[in-house]
Amino acid sequence: MTNGITFYRGPSQLTGQGDILAIVANTRKPSANTKTGPMSQLWILPATQHPHEAATTGDDVHVCGTCPRRPQTAAATGETPCYVTLAHGPGSVWKARESYPATPAPFRYPVRLGAWGDPAALPLDTIKAVIAASNGRWTGYTHAWRTRPDLKPYCMASCDTLADHAEARAAGWRTFTVLSTGATAPADTITCPASKEAGQRMTCAQCNLCNGAQGPNDRRKSITIAAH
């Protein structure tokens, strides 16, 4: 049996173009990521182009959308580029993409929506199917929170400024905000418990706070993390 499942192949919902895949890996053996803990990982990948090549040509827009840390965007703005090493996790899953069955099946671990790629690249039904196949625990983040309000119950709004945080909160999102050096965390947030600055006191799998806004009365804090 393979250690993953293909949940989607088709055009990107971010651009209406491209040919992308949604593969949940680590369904039988969880990831060894010490920050996240034992989780399955949703990888959103180009179907026919290696992730590194897509990032070089700009075709990663179909899976990463408006993320300011896309390599081409970051190079133009001076932003710190995405920390994901495309030759490792994304590249390994992409190379094995033909081995993952396209028949959804239950898996036992919490799932991280978007180990690489923005969940907004996928239809809502695919996101729901991934969560339904997991044990009902997940984390998720999207930079497309201005255009995909349907993801509000499933993803945190990825915010890169305090102004983004305020706008997203006003729109009913819970947020995951990267704080620049010297910035003061908003009062309605807590520091990510899995971060170094919080002492890594629990893993993402244990915490489970980054799972969107569970209705208009969800009073849980939003999350911040120091820029790194």
What is the residue-wise DSSP string for 140-180?
Answer: EEES-TTT-GGGTTT-EEEESSHHHHHHHHHTT--EEEEEP
User: What pLDDT sits at residue 110?
Assistant: 94
**What is the C-alpha R_g of the chain?**
17
User: What pLDDT sits at residue 31?
Assistant: 82
User: What pLDDT sits at residue 1?
Assistant: 63
* Residue type at 184 in one-letter notation: T
pTM: 0.93
Q: pLDDT for 105-121, tens place per residue? A: 899 999 999 899 999 99
Instruction: Report the chain (228 residues): mean pLDDT per 10 consecutive residues.
Output: 91 96 94 88 96 94 92 85 86 95 91 95 97 92 97 97 96 95 92 91 93 92 90
Domain chopping of the chain, boundaries: 4-226
User: What pLDDT sits at residue 80?
Assistant: 81
User: What pLDDT sits at residue 118?
Assistant: 97
- Rounded to whole angstroms, the Cα distance separating 42 from 23 reads 6
